[in-house]
């Protein structure tokens, strides 16, 4: 009897042991998933690598650098749109969802790219741009041709005999007017982005079916995920109520999460996402945590991961406060502790460069602050999305001449400012630090003409600092930003506690240092980051005397005195604490 009891206790304790120590801690209800453990590297195809000398990056160019991408240690690539497009908004205006943009290559190139990635253990996440299409898409050509055309209801039209439609704000339009009059049928069509990006009518079941079929087409090819561009805006209240005056200052409140958006996502899940091993991430996460959870909580069967902007929105041209930064990231973390999953990022193709915006791009601090910010991204809970070029510490170019700009948003905003007699000098100054073109300059491969990006004339100017900031030089330097990036990626992959472990903020009121622990699976890591150009103390309340330093961007460990650590400018350090 005693023996049986002992056996039973042993089996039970073995079970508990396995549960608590055999697996990494998963405080989040949904458990382990490949897309939670992924490290996503964003490739902006137009600016990554040109293989044919036309000055525009292409798929063959990416293929030629797959070994480089693999060498970074990242496990997935998010590719900005590569579909046929007249390029009003660099591919975010799709004219054929089942074809490849001519500038980028062919479907055969795409197939070899996907194959090459999979051979290297890298997954591929594709951009899905279906809040709108291009006005050159066949659907829109049909739609605008007559009021009775079968495709008319694929878009939103307002017949002009009913007067002017209720004002809707457009993000990219020269007049900020989202209704464009079309004399062909005496009607207005809706475009939240540029005039060449008419919004699709998601309320029409035929449109939804078209999109699901497009998704199946790519999923059948074997891609691993979709990033749903601007999708929070896809559903509309088609009774077109008037919005209060000045609503555009807070347009997202009126545009995001409208109508039956969740219903459409559940339909998408049922029809497509549930049938494939693909992940899904939505750009934008509504206006509240409730909105964000409603998009991604697994019991709702919609999407996997939210990509929210509160974090990046902290940085203004005038700078940002670290206290605010800590508060926002901590709040988002705690809201997703038990359910749902987040993306962690500080840059992408719509933002200025990470180091210029959140760090310090002046020569003495550029490398250090890039490394410090990278440490932050790679040690937070949530899936890291890392923008190409940031691993080199690439900086803003800060164009001062409007002729250098290529982005439809910047060009139209300039024209708008001019039309209203605004302060163009002030506008140009702001644009130099905030423009999306800052992150779209060509990837800096080597100290060679055009940074080795192209043998032709690049579609947008190369940052002249490529002579010192480039992949070849950094690859050869063991202490470069690039090689630091590789180390911190390795560390994240080797320590699942950095993916799933509980996050706890320390020394909350410290305006200079961001310190936190990640705990789980019988282990605890401590991350301490100095966000300033001077030495800074962190009063973390933990004695690191017996801790193991796993990584730092300085040769020497920081000085520690009992429960205080003194960090050098932009120093980042990761410790393993004894348990
Ligand atoms: C998203 C994209 C951005 C694009 C816009 C319209 O925000 O990231 O680049 O301009 O949608 O498609």
Residue 21 scores a pLDDT above 70: no
Q: Please report the pLDDT score of residue 246 as a whole number.
A: 97
| Burial class of 557 by CB neighbour count within 10 A (0 to 12, 13 to 18, 19+) | middle
**Residue 253: domain span:** 236-341
- Comparing CA positions, the residue from 440, 439, 579 lying closest to residue 521 is 579
Is the pLDDT reported for residue 19 higher than 70? no
On whether both 334 and 470 belong to a single domain, the answer is no
| Together in a domain, 88 and 147 | no
Above 70 in pLDDT, residue 26?
Answer: no
Residues 496, 501, 506: CA angle, nearest 5 degrees: 130
**Structural domain count of the chain:** 4
Token pair of 184 as six digits: 């062909």
Burial class (CB in 10 A: 0-12, 13-18, 19+), 148: exposed
Alpha-carbon Rg for the chain in angstroms: 25
Q: Which of 283, 391, 471, 507 is catalytic?
A: 283
Shortest-distance Cα residue to atom 3 of ligand 1: 350
**pLDDT digits over 466-504, tens only?**
999 999 999 999 999 999 999 999 999 999 999 999 999
408 domain-assigned? no
For residue 348, give the nearest of 61, 27, 80, 14 by alpha carbon: 80
Length of the chain: 579
Which of 306, 321, 341 is the last residue in one of the domains? 341
Q: Is the CB of 89 under 6 A from ligand 1?
A: yes
Give the pLDDT confidence score for residue 334 in this predicted structure. 96
Task: Note whether 36 and 341 are within 8 A (CB).
Answer: yes
> Residue 534: phi, psi to the nearest 5?
-125, 170
Phi, psi of 177 (to 5 degrees): -100, 120
- Atom 4 in ligand 1: which residue has the minimum CA distance? 92
Residue 262 lies inside a defined structural domain of this protein:
yes
- Centre of ligand 1 from the C-alpha of residue 470, in Å: 27
Q: Which of 80, 135, 193 to mutate to test the pocket of ligand 1 (most atoms within 8 A of CB)?
A: 193
What's the pLDDT at 23? 44
pLDDT in tens, 40-99: 999 999 999 999 999 999 999 999 999 999 999 999 999 999 999 999 999 999 999 999
In a domain, 198, yes or no: no
Residues 79 and 122: their CA atoms lie apart, in Å, by: 12
Q: What is the pLDDT of residue 31?
A: 85
Pairing mode, strands 40-43 and 157-159: unpaired
Determine the pLDDT at residue 459. Answer: 98
Rounded Cα gap, residues 311 and 347, in angstroms: 10
Is 206 within the bounds of a domain?
Answer: no
Atom of ligand 1 nearest to the CA of 193: 6
Both tokens of 128, joined, read: 């899905």
CA angle 540, 541, 547 (to 5 degrees): 80
- Residue 381 sits in a domain of what CATH number? 3.20.20.80
Q: Which atom of ligand 1 is nearest to the CA of 172?
A: 10
| Domain shared by 357 and 262, yes or no | no
The verdict on 75 and 180 lying in the same domain is no
Domain membership of residue 15 (yes or no) is: no
pLDDT at 5 over 80: no
229 CA → ligand 1 middle, Å: 6
Cα 22-24-25 angle, rounded to 5 deg? 115
Span 148-164, pLDDT tens digits: 999 999 999 999 999 99
Read off the pLDDT of residues 340-387 as tens digits, 9 standing for 90 and up: 999 999 999 999 999 999 999 999 999 999 999 999 999 999 999 999
What element of type H or E holds 387? strand 383-387
504 & 488 share domain:
no
Tell me the C-alpha distance between 540 and 562, whole Å.
Answer: 10
Phi and psi (nearest 5°) for 457?
-100, 120
Q: Give the helix/strand (H/E) hosting 539.
A: strand 536-539
**What is residue 404's predicted lDDT score, i.e. its pLDDT?**
98
> Is 359 within 8 Å of 321 (Cβ atoms)?
no
**Beta-ladder partners of 316:** 319
Residue at 259 is within a domain: yes
Whether 229 is catalytic is yes
Distance between CA atoms of residues 170 and 197, nearest Å: 11
Q: The tokens 């200079």 sit on which residue?
A: 512
Report the separation in Å between the CA atom of 374 and the middle of ligand 1, taken as the mean of its atom positions: 24
Which residue's CA is the closest to the ligand 1 atom numbered 9?
350
Q: Are residues 370 and 479 in the same domain?
A: yes
CATH code for the domain in which residue 522 is found: 2.60.40.1180
**245-253 long-range Cβ contacts below 8 angstroms, 24+ apart:** 247/169, 248/169, 248/176, 251/169, 251/171, 252/284, 252/287, 253/287
Mean pLDDT value across the chain = 95
Is pLDDT at 333 greater than 80 in this prediction? yes
Cβ of 350 below 6 Å from ligand 1: yes
Distance (Å) from CA 409 to ligand 1 centroid: 10
Kindly report the protein residue whose alpha carbon is nearest to atom 7 of ligand 1. Answer: 230
Contact 510, 531 (CB under 8 A): no
* pLDDT above 80: residue 1: no
7 inside domain: no
Q: How many angstroms does the Cα of residue 436 sit away from the middle of ligand 1? A: 10
pLDDT recorded at residue 340: 94
- Residue 14's pLDDT is 44
How far apart CA 397 and CA 438 sit, in angstroms, is 5
| CA angle 264–265–269, rounded 5-degree value | 120
For 467, the token pair is 């002579």
Structure tokens at 252: 């997202």
Instruction: Let me know whether 487 and 540 are in one domain.
Output: no
CA 193 to centroid of ligand 1, rounded, Å: 8
- The string of pLDDT tens digits covering residues 190-201 is 999 999 999 999
**Ligand 1 within 6 A of CB of 309:** no
Q: State the catalytic residue, choosing from 229, 391, 437, 471.
A: 229
Task: Give yes or no for a contact between 563 and 543, defined as CB atoms under 8 angstroms apart.
Answer: yes
pLDDT at residue 29 in the model: 72
Greatest CA separation for the chain:
92
| 312 pocket-lining for ligand 1 (C-beta < 6 Å) | no
Please give the number of the atom of ligand 1 that sits closest to the Cα of 132: 12
Q: With a 6 A CB cut-off, is 230 part of the ligand 1 pocket? A: yes
Give the model's pLDDT for residue 10.
47
Distance of CA 98 to the CA centre of its chain: 23
* Nearest CA residue ID for atom 6, ligand 1: 92
Residue pLDDT, tens place only, 269-291: 999 999 999 999 999 999 999 99
Q: What is residue 566's three-state secondary structure?
A: strand
Same domain, 158 and 114: no
| CA dihedral sign, ordered 500, 501, 502, 507 | negative
Do 489 and 504 belong together in one domain?
Answer: no
Which pairs count as long-range contacts for 108-113, CB under 8 Å and 24+ apart, including other chains?
A: 109/58, 109/59, 109/60, 109/63, 110/59, 110/82, 110/221, 111/221, 112/63, 113/59, 113/62, 113/63, 113/66
Q: What is the CATH number of the domain that holds 176?
A: 3.90.400.10
CA–CA separation, 490 and 39 (whole Å): 10
Instruction: Tell me: do 504 and 489 sit in the same domain.
Output: no
Q: Are residues 337 and 249 in the same domain?
A: yes
As a whole number, mean pLDDT of residues 137-145 equals 98
Residue 284 alpha carbon, nearest atom of ligand 1: 7
CA of 283 relative to ligand 1 center, distance in Å: 9
- Nearest atom in ligand 1 to 350's CA: 9
Q: Tell me the best of 127, 230, 282 to mutate to test the pocket of ligand 1, counting ligand atoms within 8 Å of each CB and taking the most.
A: 230
195 assigned to some structural domain? no
User: Do residues 168 and 98 lie in contact, with contact meaning Cβ atoms separated by under 8 Å?
Assistant: no
Residue 427 has pLDDT above 70, yes or no: yes
Alpha-carbon span 535 to 368, nearest angstrom: 13
135 tagged catalytic: no
Q: Is the pLDDT of residue 458 over 60?
A: yes
Are 267 and 389 in the same domain? no
| CA-proximal residue: ligand 1, atom 2 (nearest) | 229
- With CA atoms as reference, report the closest residue to 428 among 387, 400, 407: 400
How far is the C-alpha of 465 from the C-alpha of 516, rounded, in Å?
A: 34
At 27, is the pLDDT very low, low, confident or very high (cuts 50, 70, 90)? low
- What separation in Å is there between the alpha carbon of 568 and the centre of ligand 1? 38
Q: What's the 182 CA to ligand 1 centre distance in angstroms?
A: 24
């Amino acid at each position: 009897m005693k023996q049986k009891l002992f056996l039973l206790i042993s089996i039970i304790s073995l079970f508990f042991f396995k549960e608590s120590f055999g697996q990494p801690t998963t405080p989040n209800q949904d458990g382990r998933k490949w897309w939670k453990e992924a490290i996503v590297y964003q490739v902006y195809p137009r600016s990554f690598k040109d293989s044919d000398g036309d000055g525009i990056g292409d798929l063959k160019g990416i293929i030629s650098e797959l070994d480089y991408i693999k060498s970074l240690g990242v496990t997935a690539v998010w590719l900005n749109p590569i579909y046929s497009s007249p390029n009003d908004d660099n591919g975010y205006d799709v004219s054929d969802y089942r074809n490849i943009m001519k500038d980028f290559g062919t479907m055969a190139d795409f197939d070899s790219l996907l194959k090459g990635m999979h051979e290297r253990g890298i997954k591929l996440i594709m951009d899905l741009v279906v809040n709108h299409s291009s006005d050159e898409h066949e659907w829109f050509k049909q739609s605008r041709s007559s009021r009775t055309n079968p495709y008319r209801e694929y878009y939103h039209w307002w017949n002009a005999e009913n007067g002017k439609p209720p004002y809707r704000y457009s993000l990219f339009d020269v007049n900020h007017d989202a209704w464009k009059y079309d004399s062909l049928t005496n009607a207005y069509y809706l475009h939240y982005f540029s005039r060449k990006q008419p919004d699709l009518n998601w309320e029409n079941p035929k449109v939804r079916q078209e999109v699901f079929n497009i998704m199946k087409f790519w999923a059948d090819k074997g891609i691993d995920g979709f990033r749903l561009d601007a999708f929070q805006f896809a559903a509309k209240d088609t009774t077109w109520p008037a919005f209060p005056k000045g609503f555009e200052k807070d347009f997202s409140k009126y545009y995001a999460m409208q109508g039956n958006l969740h219903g459409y996502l559940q339909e998408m899940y049922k029809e497509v996402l549930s049938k494939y091993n693909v992940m899904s991430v939505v750009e934008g996460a509504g206006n509240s945590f409730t909105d964000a959870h409603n998009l991604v909580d697994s019991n709702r069967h919609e999407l996997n991961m939210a990509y929210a902007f509160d974090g990046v929105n902290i940085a203004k041209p005038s700078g940002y406060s670290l206290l605010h930064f800590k508060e926002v990231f901590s709040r988002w973390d705690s809201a997703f502790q038990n359910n749902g999953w987040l993306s962690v990022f500080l840059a992408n193709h719509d933002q200025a460069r990470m180091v210029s915006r959140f760090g310090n791009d002046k020569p003495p601090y550029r490398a250090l602050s890039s490394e410090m910010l990278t440490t932050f991204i790679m040690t937070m809970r949530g899936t890291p999305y890392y923008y190409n070029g940031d691993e080199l510490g690439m900086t803003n170019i800060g164009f001062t001449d409007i002729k250098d700009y290529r982005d439809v948003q910047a060009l139209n905003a300039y024209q708008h400012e001019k039309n209203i007699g605004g302060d163009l000098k002030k506008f140009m100054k702001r644009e130099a630090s905030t423009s999306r073109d800052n992150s779209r300059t060509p990837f800096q491969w080597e100290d060679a003409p055009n940074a080795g990006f192209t043998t032709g004339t690049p579609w947008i100017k190369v940052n002249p600092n490529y002579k010192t900031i480039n992949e070849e030089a950094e690859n050869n330097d063991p202490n470069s930003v690039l090689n630091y990036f590789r180390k911190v990626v390795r560390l994240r992959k080797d320590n699942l506690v950095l993916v799933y472990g509980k996050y706890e903020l320390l020394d909350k009121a410290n305006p200079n240092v961001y310190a936190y622990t990640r705990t789980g699976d019988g282990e605890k890591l401590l991350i301490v980051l100095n966000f300033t150009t001077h030495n800074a103390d962190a009063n973390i309340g933990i004695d690191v005397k017996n801790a193991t330093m796993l990584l730092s961007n300085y040769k020497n460990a920081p000085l520690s005195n009992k429960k205080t650590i003194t960090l050098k400018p932009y120093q980042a350090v990761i410790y393993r604490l004894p348990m």
